[in-house]
Structure formats: structure tokens, C-alpha cells
Structure 1
């Protein structure tokens, strides 16, 4: 019996990539009628549509990677002998400039937290108070939370928990231990079926039921926290807190503040 696409993905890629790979391939199949026999030009036309819909570079790169996986699967199963886009790469340059003027203020983050449902507050609190990455968030285990010391231990650092977070953690852990019979080695945050979250799912989960203008991505939350901390703290202190390996990464949030000031001045007194 021939291996299915889903089985191929499960056998060749890590669980965290299964959903995104399968979804991207399905979207491509739905758009491309004769996808099994598609030519290079057919695939380029599809990528052009993604570009014209204002998809970001990383999104298009993910779609291209997924389509490549699909044609490797067709080769693997003997449905197709050639790979039409084996050597195709994107040559776009990624704009890594951090637009600090577009980030959130402390007040905006507080409003976002206050509007968060009770069962999601701990997750949002860790993003706002500790500036965690989504990878750090989904990999927290029950044993990583030390309620007596009010600390959370991550792979690269240990961070203090605030008083209200200790309460949130206590309430949440007691709840999940009762409901899902959690053990210390288990992940702290899991889906209703007790499976670990995919990093790509966190933003959608937290912003569900929020209007579009009130949605904030986990990355934007982290970047906003770092930017706000640099207003009152030294770069080195914020670097350690954020888990940045080099100070230059942290410095980006500070140096671009000059552009933010410039933008505000131009807004009030536009140069002729």
C-alpha cells in the first residue's frame, strides 16, 4: 500500500512542522488543478499570487519549502520522476530592521492582558512580563516552575516571577493536574487533547475572538517589552533578561528609537 502524504510528512519531519507543511501543501493543491504534473512555470505563477497578496518573505519561503516537500513525496512514491523546483530559491533580502515606532507601549500591553480570558492569562503574562519567545513558551514543563522561589527556569536563563504570576501559576497548575493528571515532566501548556502546542499556533490561539485591530502577535509582544525595558535599563541588563547572545541584537531596539523620535518630529513639524 502506497504511503500517504500525511504519513510521509510524519516520517520525515519533526512533529512541530507537520501541521504547517500539510496546510501549505493543501493550499497549493487546491489552487493548482493538475498539481502532480505541474511545471516550473505553474509553480512560479502560484508564488507570484502569494507575493501579490502581500505575503511576507518568510511566509512565501515556507510555502516554497512545503511545495518542494510535496514533489519529493511524489518522487518517493514513484508518481513523478523529476523534481520541478529542486534548485529554486528565493533571492529576496529579509528586512531585519526592527520598526520600534510600530511596537506597543506598556499601556497597550496591559490592555491586551486585561482583555485576555482567564484560562489564557498565564500564557500572556509570561510573554509580557518575561518577554519569552514562542519556542520557550511551548517548551515550558511543569517542573520548570518553582513556586517556592517564584522562578521559571528556561534553557538559557532563570527568570523571577512576579507575585500575581505565582498566583496564576498555582491556580493553573492545580487545575491542569486535576483535569489532565499532569506530571512534572509534562509540558505546562497543552491543547485540549493534551498535545504540545506548535509555536505557529500560539498567536492564533491567543488572538482568537479578538477583533483584528486588537490582535498582537507573540513576536510583537516580545519586541515591545524589550523596547520598553531599554527606556529605563542598561542594554546589558536587558540583553541577559531577553536571552540575546550578543548585545548587538538588543542594541537594535535602542538605536532605532532615534528613527522613532525623528518620525514624531516630522509628524509635528514636517520638513518642506
Structure 2
């Protein structure tokens, strides 16, 4: 946005050919603020850019395809709740076009909640200022306040994403805030507990349902959301596999089914008789994420484990124990549903067999 008008920014490495081609575009100008050339953002000008540079340079067109759905999952997108909220005096609600774009792009409900929450926090910080008038300096000042509150890097990145979504996706301003600094990516090792501690947690569950939940989280390496989305038909007892539908990144995969877990699942099914989802709450509704977290935490506390144990700790432990038993890293990657082998390689830093092969210089 320059003087209230949308422009097409052209950023490139210094090159005489590109500079000469830009001069041939309709009314090119240079922005000192954004450090790039620009022309008026019209459909005709966009076509001229591609015809001018065709065969000479590669152009990133992704930012102009803002209506392309992000996901093709059948998950019901829960945006209507935000529209029907009771108005709060002096509170600036998320704009309708923001909600509509989240809905059209079929963002996951967890992402919708995160984006709406953070964006409303941001716009209420500048409630007396028009959204289009907010610039990079304002955003930096807002982020600085959050940093002084000692929020995590992940929290800060999600705030930036929610703000960028409005200006770049909703309003269609390509790379509006490309100069906003992001916190350096943290490199933390996954928290892992021993097999003996896993067994102790299972033994300290309250009932057969809770035992099945803990066993599946660990023995199949499931994320909490994946466990909650499991249907009865996703348990393949003949092939001893669990089918995960619409996992992270909208990917399907198969993972292991433990014989011990299967035996307990059969007892659980006869006793609890779930109708649709494998684990259900009241009135056959989907079990809640909070319930699963509480089951794991309380069972770990009863087992006398001092460290906080979460469903993701069980997943980390599953991967690490497989690696320690000699399972190939590529196979672990497939079971976990990781898109990149680099993500799975983190477990080599905590697997004990990595260190057992190394002789200590003191010894």
C-alpha cells in the first residue's frame, strides 16, 4: 500500500537486463521505504509483468492466488461462533472479511481460534487507529511489548502470522510486512521418558478407556488431535495397523497397532460401546483434548513421575525407543508422519544407543 493504493512490488537482485525491462513497464517508480520498484496493482499490469519477463526470470505468483483453499479436509470449520458472539462494549471484533477468508481457505479450527484470538488482541491494542493506517513501526512496537512479557518464540510467530494473514491474504497485499523480524528458531530437544515409566503410567490409569488412550498415544506415536479423530473403522486388527486420516499437513498415514493395545481395545469396546469415534464423551460427542491431557498428567503423577508428561512426550518416547531398538530412521519418519527427515533426526540426539557407542575419554 502506497498512499492508500495497492501496488505490485518488484524486488530483485541487481541486474542490468531486469532494470531495463522494468523501465518498459507502465509507470514504474521506486520506493525508498520498501527498497523496491513498483507499479499500480491491476490485472492488466500483472499480465504485462509476466509477458515482459517471460523466459527471462522466474516470478513468484503465489501471493496473487489468495483464494486457493489451504485444506481439502472434511472437518467442519467453526467460524460461525465468532459471528454470533455477544458484543462487548469497547471491544474491537475480528472483521467479517477476516473470518470469511479463514472459512473459504478451510483453515483448521485450532488455527482459526489462534488467528482470531491474536488478531483481536492486536487490533484492540490500536483500537483508535484504522487498520490500513497501521504500519511496520506499529507492529514492531506491539511485538516489543509482547517480548517484554517474556512470551515464547512460538507465541510471537503465531501473532505475526495472524497479522500478516489480514494484510497479505485478506487485503491481498503481497509481502506487506516482509521486513518484520521473526525470532530465531529455537532448537530444543524432545522430552523423553523410559519404557519402565511408560508401563508405570499405563498401570496407574483409572479405567480401561484411559488405559487404551495412553497405550495408543505411545504404541502408535499419535498426536493428541489424531487420537481424538480416530474412528472405530481406523483400527485394522487384521493388518495390525492404525489409519490416521487428515493428520498434520492434511496427510493420511498408517502407523503401528500394538497387540497389547488391541486386546485392551476389544475389552473397552464391549464395555463402553462407542458409536462413531473410537473415544467419545457424553452423548457420543468427540472426546476433548483437555480430557486426554488430564488423563496422561494424572496417571503420570500417580506413577510418581516428577516431570510433566503430556501426550506429545509419549509420542517422542515412541520414536526414541524405536530408534534405540534399531528401527531405521526413514521408517520412523513414515510412522510419525513427518514431511522431512530432518524433523525425525532430532531423536538421534536423545537416543541412548547414539551415546553407548562412544567411549568416554575418562574411562
TM-score, normalised on structure 2? 0.51
Aligned to 2:72: none
- Specify whether residues 249 and 43 from structure 1 end up closer, same or farther in structure 2 by C-alpha distance, changes over 3 A only: closer
Could you give the per-residue CA deviations for residues 185-227 of structure 1, whole angstroms, max 9, x where no partner exists? xx54566686768xxx84x443348589654343332122222
Match of 1:62 among 158, 165, 169: 158
Aligned length: 246
Aligned residues of 1:235 and 1:250 also touching (Cα < 8 A)? no
- Alignment partners' CA distance in 2, 1:137 and 1:27: 31
The answer as to 2:259 corresponding to 1:162 is yes
Aligned to 2:268: 171
Aligned to 1:26: 120
- Alignment partners' CA distance in 2, 1:124 and 1:140: 14
- Alignment partners' CA distance in 2, 1:51 and 1:191: 39
RMSD of aligned Cα (Å): 4.4
List runs of 5+ in structure 2 lacking aligned partners. 1-94, 245-251
The answer as to 2:313 corresponding to 1:223 is no
- Alignment partners' CA distance in 2, 1:192 and 1:89: 46
- Specify whether residues 8 and 234 from structure 1 end up closer, same or farther in structure 2 by C-alpha distance, changes over 3 A only: closer
- Alignment partners' CA distance in 2, 1:195 and 1:35: 43
Aligned to 2:197: 108
Q: Which moved more, 1:40-49 or 1:252-261?
A: 252-261
Report the alpha carbon displacement of residue 66 of structure 1 after superposing the two structures with TM. 1.1
List runs of 5+ in structure 1 lacking aligned partners. 77-81
Match of 1:49 among 145, 155, 167: 145
- Tell me the SS of whatever aligns to 1:157: strand
Aligned residues of 1:112 and 1:214 also touching (Cα < 8 A)? no
Aligned to 2:3: none
Aligned to 2:185: 94
- Alignment partners' CA distance in 1, 2:217 and 2:272: 21
TM-score, normalised on structure 1? 0.64
- Tell me the SS of whatever aligns to 1:230: helix
Aligned to 1:232: 325
The answer as to 2:108 corresponding to 1:11 is no
- Specify whether residues 73 and 226 from structure 1 end up closer, same or farther in structure 2 by C-alpha distance, changes over 3 A only: closer
Instruction: Flag the structure with larger Rg.
Output: 2
- Alignment partners' CA distance in 1, 2:260 and 2:345: 30
Aligned residues of 1:106 and 1:225 also touching (Cα < 8 A)? no
- Alignment partners' CA distance in 2, 1:25 and 1:112: 39
- Alignment partners' CA distance in 1, 2:322 and 2:217: 14
Could you give the per-residue CA deviations for residues 68-112 of structure 1, whole angstroms, max 9, x where no partner exists? 234468848xxxxx899543444444244x526x42222333444
- Specify whether residues 35 and 248 from structure 1 end up closer, same or farther in structure 2 by C-alpha distance, changes over 3 A only: same
- Alignment partners' CA distance in 2, 1:106 and 1:193: 35
- Tell me the SS of whatever aligns to 2:96: coil
